[in-house]
Amino acid sequence: MDLEKLLADRLTPAFAAVAGGPVAPAVRRSAHADYQSDAALALARRLGRPPREIAAEVLGRAILGDLCAAAEVSGPGFINLTVADQALGAAVAGLVGDPRLGVPRVAEPETVLIDYSAPNVAKEMHVGHLRSTIIGDATARLLGWRGHRVIRANHLGDWGTPFGMLIEHLLDLGEADGAAELSVGDLDSFYRAARAKFDADEGFRARSRLRVVALQSGDERTVRLWRLLVGRSEGYFLGVYQALDVTLTERDFQGESRYQPMLGPVVEELDRLGLLRDSDGAACVFPPGSVGRDGEPLPLIVRKRDGGYGYPATDLAALRYRTGELGATRLLYVVGLPQRRHFEMVFAVAASAGWLPGAARAEHVGFGSVLGADGRMLRSRAGAPVKLADLLDEAVARATALARRKNPGLDAAEVAEVGRAVGIGAVKYADLATDRHRDYVFDWDRMLSLDGNTAPYLQYAYARIRSLFRRAGADGLPAAVEAVRVPLADPAERALVFALLGFAPVVVEVERTLEFHQLAGHLHRVAATFSAFYERCPVLRAEGAVREGRLMLCGLTARVLRQGLDLLGIRTPERM
């Protein structure tokens, strides 16, 4: 039972009666009362009446007696609501008895396709792919938990002209040696060596071009070599996914190559629809609303002058397939902000072509860059792009050292488990806790700090509650939850209760906005509010109903932290 919504539902008809039409009651948590509505202020302008008068009239009509201990007009025309203890207790009891902590499954599940991670074959994954993987994974978890049908689409860069040179380089190295280099993740040196030969050697260039043609025409040996390159890279990426503890599997690879047979038909369809324009021999679509800095319309090139298809054509084919064949109605593209224009244009063309029918919509879930301490793009000490696998190893190593220092009582297996959960959790949380549109600075000390808005802080709060329960001699909660009275006498107890009740609305909001920093921020508030409660309100030293009630709040806090972190893809060790 969502109190905020309950209160809003009671104010809605009262506002409608006063305004003579629907008004959003704008009920929110407030520092001045449990909840506050400022809707009368906005309405006053519209009705030309004093806001306090409107607020008073709304309160006169709204039925709030069972929910509120006090409801009054304050300041220029706010409505301040103080929730009655009984209603608050009932709401908390509802949460305790609900395995979903107040977050219902959606009534009408959608098919949601999430395009994320998407590294490129025979190239190192960079931090942009890291962000995409982390944000995409959280998206898949949260939408899946809400009950949507989630399709994970790892739009691997596994096709295109570079494969001519990559295959030729593989042949030069010898299949066995080349494949071995790729398997250990030496992707960048492989790619760079191929590139260097391509730039320097006319003969190699010619061979590479022929090889692309052979690949496109399905030459058996060439296709086998291409598969080898793709397979080895996939193996390497899967290793990173495992280290990163994300839900992507080999079944989710849906690389660009899959859309090759659809490219011709897609361009033909655009032509039939009268959307194609010729520009210097290239087939283009000029999506409405796309103009460059100079005010000239910008084209999306769907077939190049040489007859080849590129990135935009592949994305159009993929989109058409995703709505048309897979039946997705919400398409999420978790890709860095530099590709914003590309997606705007692809989505606009798809809309004009009728590939986003009915409720179907596509959304670019963009994100900023990861910066080093110097404020520039994150690089390794040697100045090369950081290798993702190394970065994750370092995270785990640092967190393992931290775990050992912090709790010498942990045995070797526990230290390893905590190190992994905390190290990987810290990297993910640092990413998810900042507004994804912004760049963020990758800072080991900050992300591994035990206080602040960090994974270790939240994980520690969880472990602390679990240890409390071990000491209490109860593994779970008192058996008859209905009989436990929710303690509300202390303001710290009330504050904790509101934080716990706030979990559900945040999850529902993030399902829409995919702004995971809202969820992270809320979990941090839950942990901080718990900490304040725990300092003021003794739990194990309390007695009788108070002890039981407080233990219940502790248990609920642990469940909210665990569930919330799980939605972010972060583990919660039982001890730390």
Q: Is 312 an interacting residue with respect to ligand ARG (CB under 6 A)? A: no
Residue from 110, 124, 168, 315 that binds ligand ARG (CB under 6 A)?
Answer: 315
Minimal distance in Å, beta carbon 264 to ligand ARG? 19
Q: Which one, 67 or 319, has the nearer CB to ligand ARG?
A: 319
Choice between 322 and 571, CB closer to ligand ARG: 322
Backbone angles phi, psi at 345, to 5 degrees: -70, -45
Specify the residue, 364 or 559, whose C-beta has the smaller distance to ligand ARG. 364
Considering the complex, what minimum distance in angstroms separates the CB of residue 57 from ligand ARG? Answer: 53
Out of 7, 112, 118, 514, point to the residue binding ligand ARG (CB under 6 A). Answer: 118
Which residues touch 455 (CB under 8 Å, ≥6 apart)? 422, 425, 426, 428, 429, 430, 447, 565, 570
Task: Classify residue 258 by its DSSP letter.
Answer: G
User: Which of residues 335, 392, 395, 553 is near ligand ARG by CB under 6 A?
Assistant: 335
Residue 537 has what DSSP assignment? S
Smallest separation (angstroms) from ligand ARG to the CB of 360 = 16
Are the CB atoms for 463 and 575 separated by under 8 Å? yes
Among the listed residues 259, 333, 440, 534, the single contact to ligand ARG using CB under 6 A: 333
Judged by beta carbon, residue 10 or residue 129, the one nearer ligand ARG is 129
* Per rule CB under 6 A, count of chain residues that contact ligand ARG: 8
Site for ligand ARG in 424-483 (CB under 6 A): none
Cβ proximity to ligand ARG, 91 vs 332, nearer residue: 332
Strands 78-83 and 370-371: unpaired
User: How far apart are the C-alpha atoms of 188 and 174, rounded to whole Å?
Assistant: 18
> What sign results for the dihedral spanned by CA atoms 469, 473, 476, 481?
negative
Sign of the Cα pseudo-torsion (284, 287, 291, 296, in order): positive
- Could you tell me which stretch among 113-121, 134-142, 160-168, 323-331 binds ligand ARG (CB under 6 A)? 113-121
Stretch that binds ligand ARG, among 96-104, 112-120, 489-497, 551-559 (CB under 6 A): 112-120
- Which string of b and e fits 507-530 if b means at least 16 CB within 10 Å? bbebbeebbbbbbbebbbbbbbbb
- For residues 348 and 288, is the Cβ–Cβ distance under 8 A? yes
- The string over 483-498, giving b where at least 16 C-beta atoms fall within 10 Å of a residue's C-beta and e elsewhere, is ebebbbeeebbbbbbb
Q: Where are the beta strands (DSSP E) in 381-449?
A: 440-441
Q: How far is the CB of 340 from ligand ARG (least distance, A)?
A: 12
Amino acid in position 211: R
Binder to ligand ARG among 146, 155, 364, 420 (CB under 6 A)? 155
Q: Which is nearer to ligand ARG, 131 or 524 (CB)?
A: 131
Burial readout 414-435 (b: 16 or more C-beta within 10 A, e: otherwise): bbebbbbbbbbbbbbbbbbbbe
Output 146 or 155, the one with its CB closest to ligand ARG.
155
Q: Residue 202 corresponds to which amino acid?
A: E
Residue 157 engages ligand ARG in binding (rule: CB under 6 A): yes
Touching ligand ARG, residues 247-276 (CB under 6 A): none
Structure tokens that stand for 18 in this block: 């006063």
Q: Is residue 555 packed enough to be buried (19+ CB in 10 Å), middle (13-18) or exposed (0-12)? A: buried
Instruction: State in Å, rounded, how far the first CA of the chain is from the last one.
Output: 33
Q: Measure CA 74 to chain center.
A: 39
Q: Is 311 or 444 the residue whose CB approaches ligand ARG more closely?
A: 311
**547 phi, psi to nearest 5 deg:** -60, -45
Task: Tell me if residue 384 falls in helix, strand or coil.
Answer: coil
Among the listed ranges 114-122, 200-208, 370-378, 409-417, the one in contact with ligand ARG (CB under 6 A) is 114-122
Please, what is the minimum distance in Å from the beta carbon of residue 157 to ligand ARG? Answer: 4
In the complex, which residue's CB is closest to ligand ARG? 118
Nearer to ligand ARG, 204 or 333 (CB): 333
Residue nearer to ligand ARG on the CB measure, 34 or 115: 115
CB of 123 to ligand ARG, least distance (A): 8
CB atoms within 10 A of CB 574: 13
Please give the single-letter amino acid code of residue 268. Answer: E
Residue 335 or 424 with smaller CB distance to ligand ARG: 335
38, 110, 115, 252: which one binds ligand ARG (CB under 6 A): 115
Ranges assigned E (strand) in 392-480: 440-441
Q: Which stretch, 65-73, 115-123, 361-369, 504-512, contacts ligand ARG (CB under 6 A)?
A: 115-123
559 binds ligand ARG (CB under 6 A): no
The residues binding ligand ARG (CB under 6 A) are: 115, 118, 120, 155, 157, 315, 333, 335
